[in-house]
Amino acid sequence: MNIPARYCTGYLGDIGVPPEDLPMDFSAWFEAYLGGRWYTFDARHNTPRIGRILIAHGRDATDVAIVTSFGPHTLVDFNVVTDEVMPEEAVHYPAAGRIASNGGADPSKT
């Protein structure tokens, strides 16, 4: 179909949905370039979500591995905390790019 697409990895918290009692983890989704902008699609959740934190994007999961290691490793501690920011509290950082209305970073504005 010749639609540009990319694999995305990042964090997706429980903002705007009922919280689950399961530990949260990194998430994956894909973006497709349609009509001059990137749109986010998420087959795992299959419902619109907000609060995505994009860590990296590439051709596939190999391009954007969170960790690539060889040999034994011990993770001592790891915490990710997200909080919803109300629009009147939002701080905008133009150098970091804007957040598109679909919840994904808009790379054309960085």
* Predicted confidence (pLDDT) per residue in 22-80, tens digit: 766 788 999 999 999 999 998 887 778 888 888 899 999 889 887 778 888 888 887 77
Work out the average pLDDT over 76-104.
61
Q: Residue 13: name the closest of 55, 66, 51, 57 by CA.
A: 51
Half-sphere exposure of 8 (CA within 13 A, CB side): 24
Task: Give me Rg for the CA atoms of the chain.
Answer: 16
Give the global pTM. 0.64
> How many beta carbons lie within 10 A of that of residue 31, not counting itself?
23
